[in-house]
Amino acid sequence: MCNKRASQYHKVEIPPPQPFLKSLKNTLNEILFADDPFRKIRNESKTSKKIELGLRHVFPILEWARGYSLGYLKSDVISGITIASLAIPQGISYAQLANLPPILGLYSSLVPPLVYATMGSSRDLAVGTVAVASLLTGAMLGKEVNPVQNPKLYLHLAFTATFFAGLMQTCLGLLRLGFVVEILSHAAIVGFMGGAATVVCLQQLKGLLGLIHFTHSTDIVSVLRSIFSQSHMWKWESGLLGCCFLIFLLTTKYIKSKKRPKLFWISAMSPLVSVIFGSLFMYFLHDHFHGIPYIGELKKGINPPSITHLVFTSPYVTLALKIGIITGVIALAEGIAVGRSFAMYKNYNIDGNKEMIAFGVMNILGSFSSCYLTTGPFSRSAVNYNAGCKTALSNVVMAVAVAVTLLFLTPLFFYTPLVVLSSIIITAMLGLVDYEAALHLWRLDKFDFFVCLSAYLGVVFGTIEIGLILSVGISVMRLVLFVGRPKIYVMGNIQNTEIYRNIEHYPQATTLSCLLILHIDGPIYFANSSYLRDRIGRWIDDEEDKLRTSGETSLQYIVLDMSAVGNIDTSGISMLEELIKILGRRELKLVVANPGAEVMKKLSKSNFIESIGKERIYLTVAEAVTACNFMLHTAKPDSTVPEFNNV
């Protein structure tokens, strides 16, 4: 009886201690704290914490503002005032380049920097207008709408293009499609920027020579024809004054870059100094120099709203959309590249998707407040960095300085000569012609140099759109060729090791009799499956001819090293199945080595493993070679395979 009871007790299942204690704790909590008044408060605090984290993600200012100090404020104020001294003359100059009223250059340095200061993740980026985007806007928009004959429509379309550019940038950031911007390779950007800078410099000869009528085309042939066909209208006074300011600006830039890098403020202040001296010169001597045109009246006051001026009617909405997308991509690529460069110097990271959203929102809100396209220009950001900025608050200081200028100082720019603005643009653009980078591309990669040169020549001898299409098209073509024509090479064994390497790169590597080891260097897709099948066939033919000539043993096994095959599609699997049949007719056997997890998953689902046999798939090339050698020395190779670490 006792034994029976003992056996019954022995069969009782006791729950594991941890789950049991956990359930007991939950039960006690439900009983004791059923009416806990603080539960709702705790839940609300969790919700508020999530909201706070979300706000910090969208507005990085909430993150760095918590640890802000007085020392940071001092550095940011100095940086902000310094970049404002550069932003004011540059803004006026670049607006002229876009065939827009000069005041828009100041408007565009007010609202966008304030938006970026709250949403941007870069500490060093200084927001404002840029020459290339300004030239793009002026060139593309000027083809359809004459800025002189129809200035109101031209202005409204510039705002609309800015809106579409901001909308596109925001969508790219929200959808995490930053790879679209990466289509513009480094080589393409170097060539495109250099070509655009060359065109901009040539177009500024209009201001230096005091010409009134000038071509709207951007190619070098049209620009030079327009200049020399009006040689009788050249004004020596304008040319002389422009050359003087150009020499001054280039000298200060040389001092900063070559002699004393710490004297960056000389180069940063030189545009504003040029504007001041040029305005004083014209104020006192404008009666004696009638051949030098000047800006004229600039309206006082903060940005007027322009949201009601956006044009969404046909046929202009299509034009604005095209200009917005093209200029938006260029501005985005430049801004993110500049931000990442300075982040690397200071050893911090910026979020590319956050940057896209910040650029997009600031351009959308800018289009509502009489601004045209803005981004993070390199020249202004370099000044901001060298001035010792600590946070994005320097953009706020710059915006405040621009606001003070708009409210009180715009009449002082009345007599600013246009030749000064042309000199400022030329000085800024010369830094974008990066011939050292082009030479580096030539030494490093001839194809990249070809991309760079194509982009440059396309912009200089065609249009900016042609240069952009050429650079992107050639870069995409290279990507397609890389995917469509992956490298495949023969591998040999490094003596006294289990290492196999390309026999062309390692002359000491020896091939093995009866075996041909081929390495596929890339994914196997529909675009390259036929090429790989034919290429493998040619390698086999060459190897058999070599063995036949030397009188060695005939080929028996083909080992495919798939360590570099990151993915494979159905066309690639069909190619492998065809390859098995082709090799079978030639009395050859296929062995697969080192397929990745994703590749193995698809090979398993497609029943390829069953068709080839598990005994012919191995973890490493060394194991595959050992197994093949074993099978070659057995009477029944397929039935007496040793147990290796098969996949």
CA 462 from chain centre, in angstroms, equals 24
Average pLDDT, the chain: 84
315 versus 114: which is more confidently predicted? 114
The verdict on 417 and 274 lying in the same domain is yes
The verdict on 474 and 546 lying in the same domain is no
The token duo for 94 is 């670049």
Q: What is the DSSP secondary structure assignment for residue 434, as one 8-state letter?
A: -
pLDDT per position as a tens digit, 122-181: 989 999 999 888 988 998 898 889 898 899 999 999 999 999 999 999 999 998 887 777
The verdict on 460 and 566 lying in the same domain is no
CA-CA distance, 325 to 340, in Å (whole number)? 22
Instruction: Tell whether 48 is covered by a domain.
Output: no
Q: Is the pLDDT of residue 15 over 90?
A: no
CA 370 from chain centre, in angstroms, equals 27
CATH number at residue 558: 3.30.750.24
Ranking 101-115, 214-228, 253-267, 602-616 by mean pLDDT, the lowest is 253-267
The verdict on 163 and 91 lying in the same domain is yes
CA-CA distance, 201 to 174, in Å (whole number)? 37
pLDDT per position as a tens digit, 256-269: 655 555 666 777 78
The verdict on 465 and 397 lying in the same domain is yes
Instruction: Tell whether 340 is covered by a domain.
Output: yes
Confidence of residue 50 (pLDDT cuts 50, 70, 90): confident
Domain boundary among 433, 455, 479: 479
pLDDT per position as a tens digit, 71-90: 889 999 999 998 998 899 99
Domain boundary among 479, 511, 540: 479
pTM exceeds cut of 0.85:
no
Domain boundary among 455, 479, 503: 479
Q: Specify the pLDDT at position 363.
A: 97
Q: What is the DSSP secondary structure assignment for residue 510, as one 8-state letter?
A: B
Confidence of residue 643 (pLDDT cuts 50, 70, 90): very low
Secondary-structure breakdown of the chain: helix, strand, coil percentages, each rounded to the nearest 5:
65, 5, 30
Q: Specify the pLDDT at position 534.
A: 92
- Sorted by sequence, the CB contacts under 8 Å of residue 212 that are 6+ apart come out as 233, 293
The token duo for 55 is 């706000």
Q: How many domains does the chain have?
A: 2
The verdict on 242 and 371 lying in the same domain is yes
Instruction: Tell whether 534 is covered by a domain.
Output: yes
Q: Specify the pLDDT at position 405.
A: 94
CA 424 from chain centre, in angstroms, equals 27
Q: What is the DSSP secondary structure assignment for residue 98, as one 8-state letter?
A: T
The verdict on 524 and 446 lying in the same domain is no
Range of the domain at 296: 61-479
pLDDT per position as a tens digit, 504-560: 889 888 888 788 999 999 899 888 999 999 999 999 888 888 888 777 778 889 999
Q: Is the pLDDT of residue 441 over 70?
A: yes
Q: What percent of the chain has pLDDT over 70?
A: 89
Instruction: Tell whether 393 is covered by a domain.
Output: yes
Confidence of residue 561 (pLDDT cuts 50, 70, 90): very high
Confidence of residue 212 (pLDDT cuts 50, 70, 90): confident
The verdict on 529 and 458 lying in the same domain is no
The verdict on 462 and 536 lying in the same domain is no
Q: Read off the amino acid at residue 336.
A: I
Q: Are 160 and 312 in contact (CB under 8 A)?
A: yes
CA-CA distance, 278 to 89, in Å (whole number)? 12
Instruction: Tell whether 40 is covered by a domain.
Output: no
Average pLDDT over residues 288-317: 87
Q: Are 494 and 509 in contact (CB under 8 A)?
A: yes
The verdict on 456 and 584 lying in the same domain is no
Confidence of residue 638 (pLDDT cuts 50, 70, 90): very low
Q: Is the pLDDT of residue 336 over 80?
A: yes
Instruction: Tell whether 14 is covered by a domain.
Output: no
- Sorted by sequence, the CB contacts under 8 Å of residue 573 that are 6+ apart come out as 602, 603, 606, 608
With CA atoms as reference, report the closest residue to 444 among 185, 645, 147: 185
Q: Specify the pLDDT at position 297.
A: 86
Q: What percent of the chain has pLDDT over 90?
A: 34
The token duo for 168 is 């596109």
Q: Please, what's the b/e burial string for 220-258 (b: 16 or more CB within 10 A of its CB; e: otherwise)?
A: beebeebbeeeeeebbebbbebbebbbebbbebbebbee
Q: Is the pLDDT of residue 645 over 60?
A: no
CA-CA distance, 163 to 169, in Å (whole number)? 10
The verdict on 473 and 528 lying in the same domain is no
Helices (H), 520-569: 529-550
The verdict on 385 and 459 lying in the same domain is yes
Instruction: Tell whether 579 is covered by a domain.
Output: yes
Q: Is the pLDDT of residue 109 over 90?
A: yes
Instruction: Tell whether 624 is covered by a domain.
Output: yes
